Structure formats: C-alpha cells, structure tokens
Amino acid sequence: MPLHPSLEEGLGALFMVFLCALCVFGVQKERKGEEMELQEAIMGRRSIRKYTDQKVSDAQIEAMLKAGYWAPRVNERWRFIVVRDAETRKILSRRDSPKGKVATQPHVANAPVDIVVCIDFRGASERDRALYAMQEASGAIENMLLTAHEQGLGACWNCSFDDEKVKEVLGLPEEVTPIAIISLGYPAEAGKGIRRKTLEQIIHWERFKD
Ligand SMILES: Cc1cc2nc3c(=O)[nH]c(=O)nc-3n(C[C@H](O)[C@H](O)[C@H](O)COP(=O)(O)O)c2cc1C
C-alpha cells in the first residue's frame, strides 16, 4: 500500500538524521584513535644515531617533507635539501668546533639520508629574522621527526655543524642559512634519550615564579 506523501517525507527526514548521526559518531571515533596514535608518536620518538644500510625510499622522504610543509607557517622561509651523496654527507658531519679543530658527528655521515633545513632570510623583516622564521622551521622539523618515527625510521635533529662548509657544499646563497640537519635511516639502536627536567620545573600558571 503506498504511503501518504507527508509520511514518506517524514520517514525520509528521519533516515537522513540517522545517517548524519552515524557519520558524526564514526568521525569522532576515528579522531579519538588518531589522537592516541599522535601521543604515542610524541612520547615514543627518540633521537636515533645508528642506522642500518637499508634504503630509505623517496616516498618515505616525501612523506616527511610533506609533514614539514604542513607545519604552522608565517612566510614559509624554510627550505629542505635532501642529501644522499656520501661525500656531501661527510662534510655535513663536520662539527662546529672551537679553534679550528676538525671534529665530526659520525651519525650524520653514516645516515643514508640527511635533510638539511635552511632558512631563506632574503627580504625578511626584523621580527621575521628574530622570531618567525626560526619558529616555523622548528615546527617543520618536529613534524618531520614524528613522521620519520611513524614510518619506522630513526632520525636525529643536529645543529652542531660547520656553517660555512655546509653553505659551500650545498651552494647556498649568502642569506640562505642552514639551521639543522636531520640525519635519517632505519634504526640500528633503540635510542635512550636523556633525563629531562620534570614538568613541574618548567610550567608556570598565570605568572612566572622562581
Ligand atoms: C636544537 C637542537 C639541536 C640538537 N643538536 C644535536 C646535535 O648536533 N647532535 C646530536 O647528536 N643531537 C642533537 N640534538 C638532539 C638532542 O641531543 C636530543 O633531542 C636530546 O638528547 C633528547 O633526546 P631525545 O631526542 O631522544 O628525546 C639536538 C636537539 C635540538 C632540539
């Protein structure tokens, strides 16, 4: 028996409400799952300084670069340079060392891939130079480290390098400055981390208190 048109409309509307509720419930469930994974990645990431010879694929590197790209941004002065060449990696591994002594960070040379994060300061305002550029790049670095970890890779954030040598070997213009090298590969160690201050030592509510 055909339904009365108004009853048919009512049932249709009820069905739509039911569908919407299902969608919202589904999305919320999914979001909850994502948040848990994110916390695991944040807490579980450790600096890794020993790597196997296993090749890191372009797709894995691209996933990291994309994660860096999606960090909060102001002027996007960050530049990411992917280095696989062994000779270049050797130069990247040279530390900034006082009094001209040559010291190295072997893990930077031994990593199959290094991603050099630079800032292009050309045309930057004073505030951009002092705050924005470094902070947006730092956010990008953390996104890349977490994405490396998510993909089962090991990485380390390195800032002790020879600025001039890095600039020279990468052909950086005068105002493009290297600020970090992410050494990257499949982990050959668990990564220990170091003791940190407690949360209580660094958190202040409302006003700073010594
Ligand atoms: C700005 C910055 C610079 C760093 N430079 C170096 C470095 O040159 N060499 C290195 O081995 N680790 C470097 N690290 C990694 C820290 O040593 C490491 O994050 C810290 O020991 C905590 O360990 P975890 O990352 O395993 O939690 C640097 C980290 C940061 C944030």
Residue-range definition of the domain harbouring residue 65? 58-185
Residue-level pLDDT at 3 = 56
Q: 199, 61 in Cβ contact below 8 A?
A: no
Percent of the chain with pLDDT over 90: 77
Q: Residue 194 has what pLDDT?
A: 86
Ligand 1 centroid to 187 CA: how many Å? Answer: 16
Closest ligand 1 atom number to CA of residue 49:
11
Distance (angstroms) between ligand 1 centre and the Cα of 208 equals 27
User: What was the pLDDT predicted at 23?
Assistant: 45
205 is a domain residue: no
Mutate to test the pocket of ligand 1, among 117, 135, 149, 157 (most ligand atoms within 8 A of CB): 157
Q: How far is the CA of 167 from the centre of ligand 1 (A)?
A: 21
Q: Is residue 148 part of a domain?
A: yes
- 75 and 26, same domain (yes or no): no
Which CATH number is 92's domain given?
3.40.109.10
Same domain, 63 and 2: no
Q: Is the pLDDT of residue 34 over 50?
A: yes
pLDDT the model gives residue 20: 44
Tens of pLDDT, residue by residue over 124-153, are 999 999 999 999 999 999 999 999 999 999
Flag whether 203 is in a domain.
Answer: no
Domain count for the chain, please give it: 2
The residue whose CB lies within 8 Å of the most ligand 1 atoms, and thus the one to mutate among 144, 158, 192, is: 158
Tens digit of each residue's pLDDT (9 = 90 or more) over 57-113: 999 999 999 999 999 999 999 999 999 999 999 999 999 777 777 899 999 999 999
Q: What's the CA angle centered on 133, arms 151 and 163, to 5 degrees?
A: 80
Kindly state if the Cβ of 160 falls inside 6 Å of ligand 1: yes
pLDDT interval class at 31 (50, 70, 90): very low
| Bridge partners, residue 80, by sequence | 117
Q: What is the average per-residue pLDDT within 42-48?
A: 96
* 33 pLDDT above the threshold of 60: no
Rounded to an integer, the average pLDDT of 32-42 is 74
Residue listed under structure tokens 């290094």: 114
pTM to 2 decimals? 0.86
Distance, CA of 69 to CA of 65 (rounded, Å):
6
Does residue 180 share a domain with residue 76? Answer: yes
Distance 194 CA to ligand 1 centre (A): 10
Task: Output the pLDDT for position 97.
Answer: 74
pLDDT computed for residue 204 by the predictor: 97
> Are both 16 and 113 inside the same structural domain?
no
DSSP3 helix / strand / coil % (the chain, rounded to 5): 50, 15, 35
Instruction: Please tell me the residue having the least CA distance from ligand 1 atom 3.
Output: 159
Quick one: average pLDDT of 110-125?
A: 98
In a domain, 192, yes or no: no
The residue with greater pLDDT, 100 or 2, is: 100
pLDDT, residue 19, reads 52
Return the higher-pLDDT residue of 144 and 19: 144
Are residue 70 and residue 120 in the same domain, yes or no? Answer: yes
154: DSSP letter: E
Q: Mean pLDDT, the chain, as a whole number? A: 89
Ramachandran area for residue 174 (φ above 0: left; ψ -120 to 50: alpha; else beta): alpha
Please indicate, yes or no, if residue 204 is contained in any of the structural domains.
no
Residues 34 and 26: their CA atoms lie apart, in Å, by 13
Residue 146: inside a domain, yes or no? Answer: yes
User: What is the 139 CA–ligand 1 centroid distance (Å)?
Assistant: 15
**Same-domain check for residues 72 and 152:** yes
Residue 34 resides in a domain? yes
What confidence category does residue 5 fall into, taking pLDDT thresholds of 50, 70 and 90? low
Question: Do 79 and 179 have their domain in common?
Answer: yes
* Residue 12's pLDDT band (cuts 50, 70, 90): low
Binding site membership of 156 for ligand 1 (Cβ less than 6 Å): yes
